[in-house]
Chains A and B, each alone.
Chain A
């Protein structure tokens, strides 16, 4: 069965970086994209960006351009999201989601979420 398993919770200081991993199993990793979505405490969902696992192409939300990098390692079927220059308003649960190729917004499986807390 399809599973996306994310790395554990992180606590970071303002200005630091965080790298969240998302290990996929149960399907051919290169046939789907991976999007990252975050949710601040008590707030709605915010799309952060997408990476094509097939060719590494990326598309980041305008708001996060320059601070976020998404990568994949096809040898281990793992996707990564790196967020730099962390601020307190980056505190959120970060989700990876499998995206049906060519259909942006169609997230058919999600990881369990990773809480990132940014605090001094």
Chain B
């Protein structure tokens, strides 16, 4: 049971907009930065969104992150087949004194 709750799966058709949620608590999302990582099969994760809503320069602006209270969301617009991957949220938890990950969401396009 992960400290952060994500839906196990999400799906959409090419061109659509999809949102992946990440629900936490006051000891993690409520007071710390949220990060989103994308993992393609057989490869290491890569950062997609950092510090709640910032994108590395290599990540297209189709990807956006937001945070409100104890929840965060990753939105992907203009869905493409290459967006099929596993997506994980991550945040520091003050109570556990460690980084916690969501269980991951497998996106199907």
Contact = CB atoms under 8 A, between A and B. Distances in A.
Asked whether A and B interact, the reply is yes
Interface stretch (B62-70, B77-85, B90-98): B90-98
B57 to A, nearest CB: 12
Interface string A82-120: 000000000000010000000111111011110000000
B96 A62 contact: yes
B44 A105 contact: no
Contact of B47 (A62, A104, A107): A107
Given A44-B88, A61-B98, A106 B45 contact: no
Contacts, number: 62
Interface in A46-88: 46-47, 49-50, 59, 61-62
Contact of B44 (A46, A103, A112): A112
Give the bracket for the number of chain B residues in contact with chain A. 20 to 34
A111 B46 CA distance: 10
Given A44-B103, A61-B98, A111 B44 contact: yes
Nearest to A46: B101
A35 B47 CA distance: 14
A67 to B, nearest CB: 15
Nearest to B4: A44
Interface of B: 2, 32-33, 35, 37, 39, 44-47, 50-51, 56, 88, 90-92, 96-104
Interface of A: 35, 37, 44-47, 49-50, 59, 61-62, 95, 103-108, 110-113
